[in-house]
Structure 1
């Protein structure tokens, strides 16, 4: 994933749709993305997910029904979501969010391939979603 880059567009609008578990983000270059909570969770830029270097990534499993409970601004360069599974250490810079949005189809396909290769599932053995959040409809 990219690092901070002064050429990356800045967000003009960020909306958390809790019922559909989507983060909607528009950038000043005209791009507009709808990013599911599950997608953001499995591609979190945190050390817990990414590791501390190439090859240290941890495949995230059982995140199908994860929700975003809260968003915190981080300076003027990003946001830090709190997910329903307790994960809250990933800081999503504008660069990362733009990259994830622009590459969502390929990244999602790659994630599904890695899950299949590992014999793993998107479904959690024990649901960690708060009641009445409405997630789970974006299979």
Structure 2
């Protein structure tokens, strides 16, 4: 996929939203939390994972810096220290196009394991029953 370069990348710091705009009029409002939990970094994408590594507790994360990488991407530096993902134009377009579906699946996955957008830990009650004897 060869996506066009955005003609607008604007961080709205107070609302924690990155606005991505294109010459054809498309606009995406991508929350920093969304960008963080769907980071294209190897740390989250892994090798051969069906879904990205699940990260909770990022509701209030913000972007602290946006660094250009050549003519094809930017590096987003998050205020929680994460800065290893390169957001290529293809990644931005895919995240924008699939935002609703991705976000719904992310929330469902958090719920499945008892994590939340506010806490990055799994609740013990959410562990499968086979682990509960270990807790006694």
Give the match for residue 76 of structure 1. Answer: 71
Against the structure 1 CA distance between its residues 66 and 114, is the aligned structure 2 distance closer, same or farther, given a 3 Å change threshold?
A: same
- 1:15 is aligned to 2:2: no
TM-score (norm 1): 0.81
Name the counterpart of 2:40. 45
Q: Give me the TM-score of the superposition, normalised by structure 2.
A: 0.83
Distance in 2 (CA, whole Å) between partners of 1:86 and 1:115 is 22
Q: Which has the higher helix share?
A: 2
Tell me by how many angstroms 1:97 deviates: 0.4
Moved over 3 A (4+): none
Structure 1 segment 126-137 matched on structure 2, within 5 A: none
- Give the number of aligned pairs: 120
What runs of 5+ residues in structure 2 fail to find an aligned partner?
121-136
Deviation at 1:56, TM superposition (A): 7.2
Point out the more displaced range, 9-18 or 109-118: 9-18
Contact 2:44 2:54 in 1 (8 A): yes
Aligned to 1:100, which of 95, 100, 104? 95
| Greater RCO, 1 or 2 (C-alpha within 8 Å, sep 6+) | 1
How far did residue 9 of structure 1 move? Answer: 2.4
Q: 1:32 to 1:56 in 2, by over 3 A?
A: closer
2:134 counterpart residue number: none
CA distance in 2 between partners of 1:68 and 1:118 (Å): 27
Q: Which protein shows a greater Rg?
A: 2
2:61 alignment partner in structure 1: 66
Q: Is the 8 A contact 1:14 1:23 kept in 2?
A: yes
